[in-house]
Amino acid sequence: MVKKTLNIDLNRVEGDLEFELDVEDGMVVDARCIGVMYRGFEQIMIGRAPRDAAVITPRVCGICGTAHLYAATLALEQIWGIDVPPNATRIRNLCLLTESIQNDIRQSFLMFLVDFCHEAYRSHPLYAQIMDAFAPFKGRHHLGALEQSRDAVGIVALFGGQWPHSSYMLPGGVVGKPSIRKIIETRDIINKLTRWYETAVIGDTLENWLSLSKSDVFFEGLEKDSNKANSALGLFTRFSRTIGLHQIGFGSASMISFGAVSDPLNPKAHAMQAGVFDGDSGEIGPLDQSAITEHVRYSWFRHYDGGRHPHKGETIPDYQSESDRYTWAKAPRYDGRVMQTGPMAELIIGGDPLTTDLHQKEGASTWLRQFSRLRRIGFSLMQMKETVDALSEDIHGDFFLPPNPQDEVDGKGFGMIQAARGGLGHWISIKEGVIDRYQIITPTAWNASPRDSEGTHGHWEQSVIGLPIDDMENPLMLGHVIRSHDPCLVCTVHMLPTGKKLRFSV
């Protein structure tokens, strides 16, 4: 058997990502997911005033800054025992949903679907339609996605002053109250987004789409209704399944979600519940943050034994190029288990019957993972409409409750939310009035983790082991599998020199 090792540098991801694969007889037998960036945000926070978290951590990522802001603010509010008025939660939710939609649109149309335009697929019977729809800066859906994702974040600018890197959330609420003008402009943006989503993306009404619960009805619609078949979702589905994306990229069967869209009247409840899906039993259980640990056995950080809860975690770089360590990412685990997170986990744990039915029949495939992202846009639009309606009915309600300075005490707290890419958590420790410890676990940290202390591969690594590599010069399927997770390595971890034997460019 001939064994080859490939170093593959993936482009069109958020950050810098390499995969090192061992390939025998045309199949991946081992994989190492390499995050080649080290940034040090967690160390930057140490010794700073606690409120600096709401200014600095949104700079972790240019795509999901609202999510980091939200998580940091929740952690501070937990430590200080601060209540938040319903309107503040509504505005926070609205902006987070907006950020999620722009991310889902950009990831789908600008990052993932353009792979289908590769020369390798030129002989495919759907290739002409694919090019017409998804060709970069030419395809009708690509151009539509550019426009809609640009306009969507105008909602965050209305309530938060700017996007990205906003800092409008603070302990006790938000800095700007709702107004008639903001409500009207927000409704206009949502209505425009909805019309585009209905006509271009799903080929159906939002109401019909969200009421769909059976996979056989979904596939039947693609066969009988040309609007659905020729929509972006229909074309994506038809092409994906002819090349087998519904049969690859499964990875870890267990999933985790931190819960989407907090209830303004009951912050512990969510429109999409938090929870953990057990891949062995198929059951969904409650989420217990105390069961979360981080391992560094195969990471370029100072060693400690086993896994540590984030409140006891540390981030001290220890780069050893000649060791068996291989990444700047840590290895988060839940109750010792490898988890995947993202839109698919959110919808399954949150109770969407269509995604659940598809998952039960076919598993957590590359196709279903990307399908879930397009499906989630519909739920986000619905929640945004409901949130704006609630704001308009309580437009004069409180949006900020000033904390008592005496309440800003030392302590430990955490903020956990469902970001665009999955579960995001910030854990903060305050001692003598300054941040003593700060740990962030991002969605990509869960998905792109290396092996843990037991030697168990992370989710992405598992998802490509066993994958056939037909063309060593162009491993297209690898790109499909990894991009379906919407990688964001800037969140997870200054460029370091690395040797590359092969560059994968699509």
State the burial class of residue 57 (Cβ atoms within 10 Å of its Cβ: 0-12, 13-18, 19+): buried
Q: In this structure, is the dihedral angle defined by the CA atoms of residues 294, 299, 300 and 303, taken in order, positive or negative?
A: positive
* 3-state percent helix, strand, coil for the chain, nearest multiple of 5: 45, 20, 35
444 backbone dihedrals φ, ψ, rounded to 5°: -70, -25
Residue 491, annotated as binding a ligand: yes
Provide the residue type at 124 as one letter.
Answer: H
Residue 42, annotated as binding a ligand: yes
**Cα separation, 271 vs 382, whole angstroms:** 11
**Cα separation, 141 vs 44, whole angstroms:** 41
Residue 33, annotated as binding a ligand: no
Residue 270, annotated as binding a ligand: no
Residue 494, annotated as binding a ligand: yes
Angle formed at CA 383 by CA 390 and CA 423, multiple of 5 degrees = 125
DSSP-derived secondary structure for 366-407: HHHHHHHHHHHHHHHHHHHHHHHHHHHHTTTS-SB-PPPGGG
443 contacts 123 by C-beta, under 8 angstroms: no
**Cα separation, 70 vs 106, whole angstroms:** 21
459 contacts 447 by C-beta, under 8 angstroms: yes
> Comparing C-alpha atoms, which of 256, 254, 270 is closest to residue 70?
270
Q: In this structure, is the dihedral angle defined by the CA atoms of residues 260, 265, 266 and 271, taken in order, positive or negative?
A: negative
Binding annotation for Mg(2+): 42, 440, 494
Residues in the annotated binding site for Ni(2+)? 61, 64, 488
Which residues are known binding-site members for Fe cation?
Answer: 64, 491
| Residue list, annotated binding site | 42, 61, 64, 440, 488, 491, 494
